[in-house]
Amino acid sequence: MSKITVYSQEGFGGRSAEFQQDVSDLEEKGFNNAIASIKVIGEPWVAYYDKDFDGKQRVFEQGEYATLDDKGRFSSFKKVTADLTNPEIQMFEHINYQGRSVIIRNETNLTEIDFNDKASSHRVRRGVWVLYEDINRRGSQLIAFPGDYVSNYVPLSFNDKASCVRPLLQRP
């Protein structure tokens, strides 16, 4: 069983709600832009800044998050249900899958392979991937699901920004 519990105050205080299924509009649940701490049990969840799973994204894996840097900004949640085994993503230097490309199968700081701040499109072959704006899992995130063919990062405000990528891993 996978669930996410949200709280209106830091440190797991105030009002709370528990979700076991995707929530496309937190406003309907009374928690739009009102979440200050989170607990996750089981599989990861993706939080979106806008309703209907749109806008900026942030992944929450199993654990407790007593304080959130981006508290109060979430408007929808999606549970990660994809197969996380044998992950693989192909990243391209230019939009529309053009230019130099790299195939990545494990966590990689893109500075190590001369691909830092160069990616403009990707194809996810397997697994769920988190692309970070900065090395060492820092900065804005872009979550990529199996079968995602994203031909252009420009509309996502992520063009030439990826510096680190990692697959979400299956829980033991």
Which strand ranges, in their side-by-side order, compose the sheet holding 13-19? Answer: 13-19, 3-9, 37-41, 63-65
Kindly give the confidence (pLDDT) of every residue in the chain, 172 residues in length, as a single tens digit, with 9 standing for 90 and above.
899 999 999 999 999 999 999 999 999 999 998 999 999 999 999 999 999 999 999 999 999 999 998 888 999 999 999 999 999 999 999 999 999 999 999 999 999 999 999 999 999 999 999 999 999 999 999 999 999 999 999 998 899 999 999 999 877 6
Domains of the chain: 3-79 (2.60.20.10), 88-167 (2.60.20.10)
Structure tokens at 114: 């001369």
Q: Quick one: pLDDT at residue 137?
A: 95
User: pTM of the full predicted structure?
Assistant: 0.91
**46: nearest Cα among 66, 14, 19:** 19
- In angstroms, the CA 49 to CA 54 distance is 7
What distance in Å separates the CA atoms of residue 93 and residue 99, rounded to the nearest whole number?
A: 5
Three-state DSSP class for residue 135:
coil
